[in-house]
Amino acid sequence: MRRIVRRMGTLESRFYLIFTLVFFATILTMQIISTRFTITSVRSAILENSRQLTDELVEQIDSYIAGMVRISQAIMENPDVEDYLAYKNVGAEERLASRFAAYIEARDDISSVILFRPDGDAVSADGTDPSEYTNVKKASWYRNALSSEGRTMVSTAYVQNLIPGHYSWVVSLSTAVPIPGQREPGVLLVDLKFNRIKELCESLVVGEKGYDFILDAGGNYVFHPSQQLMFSEIKQEPVADVMRVYFSESPVHRTQNQSYVVARSKRTGWYVVSVLFDADLVTGWPYVHLMNALTGLVLFLIVGLVTNFISKGITRPLRRLQEVMQSVETGEFLLAGDLDATDEIRELAREYDLMVGRIGELMEANTREIELKRKSDLKALQAQINPHFLYNTLDSIIWMGEMQKSDEVVKMTSALSRLFRISISKGNEIIPLRSELEHVRSYLTIQEMRYKNKFRYLIDIPEDLQDVPVLKITLQPLVENAIYHGIRSVDYTGLIEIAGKREGNDVLLTVTDNGQGMDRAVLEKLLQITAPSESGNKAGTGVRNVHERIRLYFGEGYGLSLEEKKAHQPETKMTRITIRIPSGTEA
């Protein structure tokens, strides 16, 4: 946000941007909050309605199971049941089979009705004896009936396999039937089809994708619309979470895009679960979002126009003041005068007028100070050149005088006189290259006399470069560096070469020696010529000062560069310092 504001150049643009963005953010925030609140409220209302429907479904299932239990009780109260169980009366068996068939024909939700004797014989609607095909006493519904103490037991869903070729998903009601004079009772089995339970579950579904399913107390499926997929584990439901959430404060389990509303039957212990999809809970919201977006866009445009009008009224006098201030760039220094604006802007214009007057005075003073500072900086850099040379030269003159070498005293004194005469140069900082070369020759004459047979020198400067303007005392520090760091400590006669040439609009002057080279630390300091010298370390001070003086006078593109490489002899190295200066005009 701040980065965007900084990029908006004008105050008017910033006013417009800030106000519109703030208003847009406010509208967007309100719409988001309103939409979220509405969606949450609608979802809560739908979930509450779903809980009520789930409770109603539990009541209907309990009522249905209770009705089936009553049918079982009515069958057990028939006298033919006792005659068949106690005496295996053939007439009673035929009447029971006929009655069972009537029940199945009258109710499409009953799959089969079978009465089992303790010895395994049974009577069914179609006269088939299931005991011929399976051991019913091992079935869970049979054992549960025997242990139920006369209560009707409701099984979980399973595939009934009592009769070959007749396999169907059922829920069984099994009841133990007491037999007078016998310890072991008979068992009445009523198998219920899923169609009635399915109808009940489908009648109270919320949304197009929603569905209901039923679990028994052990978490097994009693009914599921995708029953086969559940038992083959192709599809799964969060059964453990659903059963656990029933005992929480809010019996609703949430997944990424579904809600599971849980209720439980006190009669059967079944968990009835209603599954709702978020897509069904909140419908039509894209249109709501579209209307909100259109309303926000209209308001945004209205506020944009109002903001633009206000910002222009505020910034118009500022633009006028800006135009006046821009005259400073061209050197006109126009005055703002009396502006039709707020008190703050008029005060700013007055201060600007005072500032313009003061700037004119300061510019003149600053021009004088810059010139003085430049001269002072040049003199300060020049003054840093090592004075030890003068001390050593005077000591040499004294020594030669004591040795009565008058000719050498005269020669060295004369060279020293020329050296300082050129160094002074009547206060001029720029001298012709020929004068600088004379200064160097005087310096080399003195050093040759001090270091006899230690080195020789060669100066090769074309005549057309002799009058090129250079800063005075430019070559001498580089020659001094070649003597002290390259040649002084070698055991052979060294060579110092001074050369020059043109390169485009520049002049290149080089000082080359074939001495031993410089110490690694000194070389690294000289390679970083622009780095300031460390306190107390004199190495390279003269070279660095020459570089800084040239850059200060001629600009950043000029100065020194240094290279070092092995010479033809293994023990020698070639060190070359190059000076780059503009060719300029003749001095």
Mean pLDDT, the chain, rounded, equals 78
Name the nearest CA neighbour of 471 among 364, 559, 550.
550
434-444 average pLDDT score: 89
Q: What is the pLDDT of residue 244?
A: 84
111-139 average pLDDT score: 79
| Residue 533's pLDDT band (cuts 50, 70, 90) | very low
Q: 240 or 325: which carries more pLDDT confidence? A: 240
Q: How far apart are the C-alpha atoms of 12 and 304, rounded to whole Å?
A: 12
Kindly list the distances between the CA atom of residue 23 and the CA atoms of 3, 11, 33, in Å, as whole numbers in the listed order.
Answer: 19, 18, 15
- Give me the phi and psi of 461, to 5 degrees please: -120, 120
Q: How far apart are the C-alpha atoms of 252 and 237, rounded to whole Å?
A: 14
The whole-model pTM stands at: 0.46
Domains, in order of start, for the chain: 78-196 (3.30.450.20), 384-582 (3.30.565.10)
Q: What is the pLDDT of residue 468?
A: 92
Residue 221 has pLDDT above 90, yes or no: no
Residue 421 has pLDDT above 80, yes or no: no
Q: What is the pLDDT of residue 328?
A: 67
Which tens digits make up the pLDDT trace of 11-29?
A: 667 666 776 777 777 777 7
Q: How far apart are the C-alpha atoms of 551 and 531, rounded to whole Å?
A: 13
Q: What is the pLDDT of residue 413?
A: 85
| Residue 427's pLDDT band (cuts 50, 70, 90) | low
Tokens representing 505 are: 């609009």
Which tens digits make up the pLDDT trace of 147-159?
A: 887 788 888 777 7
| Residue 578's pLDDT band (cuts 50, 70, 90) | very high
| Residue 495's pLDDT band (cuts 50, 70, 90) | very high
* 183-187, 377-381, 424-428: least confident range: 377-381
Q: 133 or 117: which carries more pLDDT confidence? A: 117
Strand partners, 565: 574
* Residue 469 contacts residue 585 (beta carbons within 8 Å): yes
Q: 579 or 416: which carries more pLDDT confidence? A: 579
Residue 241 has pLDDT above 80, yes or no: yes
AA identity, residue 157? A
Give the DSSP letter of residue 349. H
AA identity, residue 10? T
* Residue 133 contacts residue 139 (beta carbons within 8 Å): no
Q: 447 or 405: which carries more pLDDT confidence? A: 447
234-263 average pLDDT score: 82
For 232, counting Cβ atoms within 10 Å of its Cβ (0-12 exposed, 13-18 middle, 19+ buried), the class is exposed
Residue 436 has pLDDT above 50, yes or no: yes
339-350 average pLDDT score: 69
For 583, counting Cβ atoms within 10 Å of its Cβ (0-12 exposed, 13-18 middle, 19+ buried), the class is middle
Which tens digits make up the pLDDT trace of 169-213?
A: 788 888 989 988 888 898 898 988 877 787 888 787 777 788 888
Q: 59 or 164: which carries more pLDDT confidence? A: 59
* Residue 197 contacts residue 223 (beta carbons within 8 Å): yes
Range with the largest mean pLDDT of 212-226, 416-430, 534-548:
212-226
* 112-116, 232-236, 279-283: least confident range: 279-283
Which tens digits make up the pLDDT trace of 133-150?
A: 577 788 888 888 888 877
Name the nearest CA neighbour of 539 among 450, 474, 490, 477.
477
Label the pairing between strands 455-460 and 494-503: parallel
% the chain with pLDDT above 90: 8
Q: How far apart are the C-alpha atoms of 190 and 114, rounded to whole Å?
A: 7
* 97-111, 329-343, 406-420: least confident range: 329-343
372, HSE (Cβ side, Cα atoms, 13 Å): 6
Q: What is the pLDDT of residue 529?
A: 60
* 387-391, 395-399, 549-553: least confident range: 387-391
Long-range contacts of 139-143 (CB under 8 A, 24+ apart): 141/172, 141/174, 141/189, 142/116, 142/174, 142/187, 142/189
Dihedral, 37, 39, 41, 43 alpha carbons, nearest 10: -150
Q: What is the pLDDT of residue 536?
A: 43
Q: How far apart are the C-alpha atoms of 472 and 440, rounded to whole Å?
A: 10
| Residue 373's pLDDT band (cuts 50, 70, 90) | low
Q: What is the distance of C-alpha 177 from the center of its chain?
A: 74
Name the nearest CA neighbour of 430 among 472, 383, 464.
472
% the chain with pLDDT above 70: 75
Q: What is the pLDDT of residue 291?
A: 74
Which tens digits make up the pLDDT trace of 30-43?
A: 767 776 776 677 66
Residue 534 has pLDDT above 50, yes or no: no
Q: What is the pLDDT of residue 459?
A: 93
- What is the CA angle 227-229-231, rounded to 5? 70
